[in-house]
Amino acid sequence: MMNFDPTLAALMDQVPKGLLALMERDQCASKSIADRGLPRRGFLKVGVASGFALGVFPLMAGAQAPAAPEALKPFQQPSAFVRIATDGTVTVTVNRLEFGQGVLTALPMILAEELDADWSQVRAVHGDADAAYVDPMFGMHLTGGSGSIKRSYLQYRELGARARAMLLAAAAQQWGGDANSLRTEAGKVFRSDGKSISYGELAEAAMKMPVPQKVALKDPKAFTLIGKATGRLDAQAKSNGTQNFGIDLQLPGMLTAVVVHPPVFGAKLKSVSDGAAKRVKGVRAVFRMPVDRGGEGVAVVAQGYWAASQGRAALKLEWDTSAVDKPDSAELLARYSEMAKTTGLVRFKADMGPLAKAPKRISAEYVFPYLAHAPMEPLNCTVQVTGQGLDAKAILWLGTQMPGFDGMAAAKVLGLPPQNVKVNVQMAGGGFGRRAVPTADYVVEACTVAKLARAAGLDVPVRTLWSREDDIKGGYYRPMHVHRAEIGFDASGKVLAWDHVIVGQSIAAGTPFESFMIKDGIDNTALEGMREPYDVPMRLSVHHPKVNVPVLWWRSVGSTHTAFVMETLIDEIARSTKQDPVAYRLQLMGDKHPRHKAALQLAVDQSGYGKRTLPKGQAWGVAVHESFDSVVAYVAEASVTKGVPKLHAVTAGVHCNLAVNPKTIEAQVQGAALMGLGTCLPGAAITFKDGVVEQSNFGDYTVARITDMPSIAVHIVPSAEPPTGIGEPGLPPLAPAFANAIARLTGKTPRALPFKLT
């Protein structure tokens, strides 16, 4: 079990009780957590000359405010989300972290659609830890679970519609007419005689108008922006290098800190010799300090990263690893394999009697290694503490998926009331789950360094920066898993019994989310994606071994391994019974999974599968999988030359309901597919020897590169239903589609990621 820092225990009381619904991908919650638990407040208006201004809703201050049942909640109020300048520029505040998924464009598109804004004048900024920016369904600040568009679609439509209604009311007041007689278009209000007035001219007066409780939303048939392929608002800055990320932050007098983490998780220091480090030019201080999981480390604070890293290199440290377990990958594999031979905690029950007499059998063991998140921007957090005593305050700058949670963790470490901690959310260069950590490890670490620095007289902002090596060797990881399947079926492919065991660490154990994510001893993230969409008699059980390796969700979470197992085994049954793998899948789905069938059929039709002859030495591979309420199907074209597999082309069929921005969806699926391909490549594994992570950088930890990128065509199933997630669903089916093509060429199904064909 992971060691959860007791100083963060108070955070458990802040986790909304409905988070289980999120972790289980439950969309049945008709009433949000925020509806039940967050206070209702009066409409806070902050007047500025330029027009609409951001409302200020500190999370804890809001919790202490008197209830106002008649008022809209903070996350329903336009003042916190829309600012219209006198020149007509519309700035939309986004309640999620932008770290590559395009949310800083898609959410403004949704609001601008209902606002009837001029898209050329729309801009976007991040929100912070204010109560207005919670996830409206789950009542906490959260970017994750591919839920940004899914859970804020209606919210942002209503925000835009409310702001539009207030502009109409202001125009009617100015002209002395009826608001119902007016219309809006491209950032202007029009009268029936053709006279118009711009939103910029109306903004200040509109801000003073009552906020309507209920608004009429557009008929989707009238959409002019939603559903249109739209370029990203941040594309130019990211393309020309002017976009700033958290790592780029510069503040007057700012110092940079790096931290030496223990070589084995949780290890302590025997001795520290820091004389040489302190003599490095630019080094201002060296601190021995606690780090994540009960371990100890050493921080070097200096003027700039180079001086800090050189100071760190000059340290002479002795470690005591006697009190901590030292995981070893080879030993773990042997241990997991033995556990997989026995039935664990049972989630799905089915009669296994027919297994022994089944005319056809498959016995398979699958192995999946630990994986690092390895975002292009390593972890970083800048902390500035000002004032003394009751006047002390802190400002944090970081790219975070959970700004409210991290802000509370910072308050705990710094000894400040939560309302005195401000979190400025920064653009992040990737994350894939690593910036949503239940222990808030890198935030706690940065705040600890800042606290020690201030106590030593360094009363300046301190940026704690992780190197690439820190990022890869310092946790957290996608858990290692072993699957064992025993399947009995007949000559027609009918599955008679499927006995399945999964072995892997629990992500939730030892965290504030344990009581919500673990049911009957089983971490739901370990088995998401199993069995569906195939109606097969399965006994599914799980073992959760305790290992001294910190684990965390990784892009698409459990589906990273369950999709591979399910889709390669289904394909193997089809091949064993001489059936077309597409036809076999469609048969197993029956009439219960129309979205799966639509996505698969679209990918098949667009790829030319079964109709087009592939070049000699190439074969088709197919896979389809649902995760985070969206379905992605891939048809892959691959070859194997001298034992080396090559993915040439991929055709995707995507069912994510309404496509808010098809251009973003295409990019997300392409990026997820490439990341999925990366899990197949040699060296795509984190391994341990005597408790030490053996990899340290991209030289020995493989990630997919542009040279690995196949041709990828993305096709979206048309739908008018409310949108579902897309940031993660494109990853899981790529590896099994590739593996199934390899199996058709070699006659052997790959049983491990990364692929081991020799």
**Is the separation of the CB atoms in 184 and 113 below 8 Å?**
no
Mean pLDDT value of segment 271-275: 98
- pLDDT tens digits for 440-479? 999 999 999 999 999 999 999 999 999 999 999 998 999 9
* Cα–Cα distance measured from residue 721 to residue 729, given in angstroms and rounded to the nearest whole number: 18
Average pLDDT of the chain, as a whole number: 91
Helix, strand, or coil here: 732?
A: coil
pLDDT recorded at residue 512: 84
pLDDT recorded at residue 17: 39
Has residue 123 got a pLDDT over 50? yes
Has residue 151 got a pLDDT over 90? yes
CA 208 to chain CA centroid, nearest Å: 38
Has residue 23 got a pLDDT over 80? no
Cβ atoms < 10 Å from Cβ of 107: 27
Mean pLDDT value of segment 63-86: 76
Mean pLDDT value of segment 235-248: 97
- pLDDT tens digits for 103-120? 999 999 999 999 999 999
DSSP 8-state secondary structure symbol assigned to residue 119: G
* Cα–Cα distance measured from residue 566 to residue 564, given in angstroms and rounded to the nearest whole number: 6
pLDDT recorded at residue 70: 56
- pLDDT tens digits for 531-579? 999 999 999 999 999 999 999 999 999 999 999 999 999 999 999 999 9
What's the chain's length in residues?
Answer: 758
Paired with 381 in beta bridges are 464
Has residue 49 got a pLDDT over 90? no
Cβ atoms < 10 Å from Cβ of 699: 9
pLDDT recorded at residue 540: 98
- pLDDT tens digits for 317-346? 999 999 999 999 999 999 999 999 999 999
Has residue 252 got a pLDDT over 60? yes
Residue type, 735: A
Q: Which domains does the chain have, with CATH numbers?
A: 32-238 (3.30.365.10), 246-322+379-465 (3.30.365.10), 340-372+476-746 (3.30.365.10)
**Who has greater pLDDT, 6 or 719?**
719
Closest CA to 401 of 698, 728, 26, 3: 728
Tokens 């919650």 found at: 29
Has residue 256 got a pLDDT over 90? yes
pLDDT recorded at residue 721: 97
Pairing of strands 522-523, 518-519: antiparallel
Secondary structure (DSSP) of 405-435 = HHHHHHHHHHT--GGGEEEEE---S--TTTT
Has residue 653 got a pLDDT over 50? yes
**Confidence category of residue 228, pLDDT binned at 50, 70, 90:** very high
Mean pLDDT value of segment 356-376: 98
> How far from 106 is each of 100, 188, 407, 659, 673, CA to CA, in Å?
12, 22, 26, 10, 21
- Rounded to the nearest 10°, the torsion over CA 114, 116, 117, 119 is 90
- Rounded to the nearest 10°, the torsion over CA 414, 416, 419, 422 is -30
DSSP 8-state secondary structure symbol assigned to residue 48: B
CA 648 to chain CA centroid, nearest Å: 28
Has residue 147 got a pLDDT over 80? yes
Task: Bin 293: left if φ > 0, else alpha if -120 < ψ < 50, else beta.
Answer: left
* Cα–Cα distance measured from residue 75 to residue 151, given in angstroms and rounded to the nearest whole number: 12
Name 219's Cβ contacts closer than 8 Å, sequence gap at least 6. none
CA 315 to chain CA centroid, nearest Å: 36
Helix, strand, or coil here: 355?
A: helix
Quick check: bond before 476 cis, omega within 30? yes
Sign for the pseudo-dihedral over CA of 60, 63, 66, 67: positive
pLDDT recorded at residue 597: 98
Closest CA to 463 of 253, 165, 202: 253
Closest CA to 435 of 74, 21, 99: 99
Closest CA to 570 of 511, 645, 625, 642: 625
**Confidence category of residue 598, pLDDT binned at 50, 70, 90:** very high
Helix, strand, or coil here: 279?
A: coil
Helices (H) and strands (E) in the chain, counts: 19, 30
Share of the chain above pLDDT 70, in %: 91
